A and B are shown apart, each in its own frame.
Chain A
Amino acid sequence: TQLLEQSPQFLSIQEGENLTVYCNSSSVFSSLQWYRQEPGEGPVLLVTVVTGGEVKKLKRLTFQFGDARKDSSLHITAAQPGDTGLYLCAGRFGIGSDMRFGAGTRLTVKP
């Protein structure tokens, strides 16, 4: 079964703190993506990673893809209230296959 597990499920922090959320699978991803979803809206793509060991930065967000392409992390530096939302990882397990989503990490950043 190709399951994606995300942790933690919920995270509540103060503005200015750093945080890391994780996405893991027992299967190898052909590609992995991170999305952010706000209440009442659809997910918005943040990044796509395809190469094992790849690191991508998007302002205060750093995305890392594991060497074995079975795991990924999202690190946010100096979190802001505007970072509040549901962070979803999604992966393809084969070229051309559709994407499967994890249950998400619900982040709350308090001012």
Chain B
Amino acid sequence: NAGVMQNPRHLVRRRGQEARLRCSPMKGHSHVYWYRQLPEEGLKFMVYLQKENIIDESGMPKERFSAEFPKEGPSILRIQQVVRGDSAAYFCASSPGQLGGYTFGSGTRLTVV
């Protein structure tokens, strides 16, 4: 997973707080994808971004969740007013283009208490 950097690795938030998850894609990769994984389950697509553009956000809840990938800096997945059901591992992946495989980060494990 070298190359895609996610931080923090672990994040604990109280109900009602905001969670900000960061993802720096591999050098040269301009496509970023966010996935959510619950224990014992596969990855659920959330959002696909290119620099300054959201390409597909069909997997992201309409409320409380937002994502951005600014011209400079990492991609951010923001969850406002977190609830216990938001507890999960959130993975970011990047790719150089629209074809080919993804390189994943090590994930951010969000725990809402």
Name the residue in A35, A44, A98, A106 with the highest tally of chain B Cβ atoms < 10 Å from its Cβ. A98
* CB atoms of A99 and B102 under 8 A apart: yes
Interface residues in B28-50 (C-beta closer than 8 Å to A): 33, 35, 40-45, 48
Chain A-chain B contacts (Cβ-Cβ < 8 Å), number: 58
Bound state CA distance, A42 and B100, in angstroms? 17
Bound state CA distance, A41 and B107, in angstroms? 7
- Give the residue name and chain of the A residue nearest to B43 (CB): A101
* CB atoms of B106 and A41 under 8 A apart: yes
| Interface flag for B93 (CB, 8 Å) | yes
Contacts of B100 in A (CB 8 A): 48
Q: Kindly provide the distance from the CB of B8 to the nearest chain A CB, expressed in whole angstroms.
A: 14
Contacts of B99 in A (CB 8 A): 31, 95-96
* CB atoms of B104 and A101 under 8 A apart: no
B104 touches which of A42, A48, A102 (Cβ 8 Å): A42
